[in-house]
Amino acid sequence: MSDVIITEKANPNTVDIDISSSLEIAKMINNEDLTVAQKISENLGAIAKAIDIISENFLNGGRLFYFGAGTSGRLGVLDASECPPTFNSPNEMVQGIIAGGDSALRFAIEGAEDSIELAREDFKNANINENDTVVSISASGNANYVIEVLKLAQQKGIKAIALTCNKEAKMSEFADVAICIETGAEAITGSTRMKAGTAQKMVLNMLTTGAMVKIGKTYKNLMVDVKPTNIKLKDRAERIVCAITECTQDKAKKVLEANNYNLKEAVLEIKYNLSETEAQRLLKENNGILRNIFKILD
C-alpha cells in the first residue's frame, strides 16, 4: 500500500472513531486540525513567492484565476467571491472556476475532475492572458483537470501556482510556484474536505489578502477599500475614517455619504482638505496607496 497517496491513507489516530463518544470524536478531529497551521508555516516561503507574483500581475492590470474540482474548486470560488466586498475589487479581478460549472458548487459532477476537455474549455472561456495568474487547487494534485490548466498556462507563458497537500503531486511539475501543505491522513480516510480543505482555505486567504495588501487595499491593517453594502460595513467605514483622521464619526459619516462612501477620498478630504478631483488624482498617481500619499503631503 506504499503507493497510496497520503491524502488517501488511513489515520491510525482515529481508527476507533466509529465507537467513540461525541466528545471523543470532536477531540479526535480537533487534534488533527491542530496540525494544519504548523504545516502551513513550513511553506511560508513558497506562499510569499506566490503573493509577489499575484500582486505584481494585479499592478499590471492582471487577474487571478482559481481552478479546482470538488471541495478545492468550491474553496476557490468562495475566496474569490469574498474579495469584492472586502477590498472593493472588481468582480473580474479574482475569479473562481470549478470543474463542472456553477452546479458543481452544490452537487458532485461525475468525472469533472478527470476531464481534460473541461479544463481546456474553461481556460479558453476565461480569456486568460500573460498579465494574469493561474492557481490550480487540488488535495492530491493529480486530477487531470487541474494539471491541464497548469499545462495550458505554461504553454502560454502565464504565471501558474499549484496548491496541493501531496508532495508527490503531478501538477507541481507544471507550476512556477508549488505550495504543498502536507496535512497527512484525514480523520475520515480520504475526506479531504477536512484538514486538506482547511489548509487550502487558509492559504487562499493568505494569497488574496497578501496581494491586496501589497497593492494598497489596506492602510496599516485597516480595510480602506471596503465596499459598504450594509449598515455594519458603513459603520466600519466611518470608524476607519475616524481612526485615520481623528475626526468625529458624525463628520466621517457626512463626508462618506456625500461621496458615496469612497473611504480613501474621504480620508484625504478630511485630513488634508483636498477636493474630490485632487484626491482622485493623487490616488491614481500612487496606485491607491494612502501611505505614499501621506508621505507626499505631510
Known catalytic residues are 82, 113
Q: How far is CA 147 from CA 83, 128, 129, 132, 175, in A?
A: 25, 16, 18, 18, 9
Rounded-to-integer distance, Cα 93 and Cα 51, Å: 15
SS3 194: coil
Handedness of CA 195, 181, 93, 259 (dihedral sign): positive
Which class for 116: exposed (0-12), middle (13-18), buried (19 or more C-beta within 10 A)? Answer: middle
Handedness of CA 9, 13, 14, 15 (dihedral sign): positive
Rounded-to-integer distance, Cα 112 and Cα 293, Å: 48
Dihedral of CA atoms 11, 14, 17, 21 in degrees, nearest 10, equals: -160
Residue 68 β-bridge partners: 98, 137
Q: How far is CA 247 from CA 239, 241, 264, in A?
A: 9, 8, 14
Rounded-to-integer distance, Cα 47 and Cα 210, Å: 9
Dihedral of CA atoms 119, 123, 124, 127 in degrees, nearest 10, equals: 170
Rounded-to-integer distance, Cα 201 and Cα 197, Å: 6
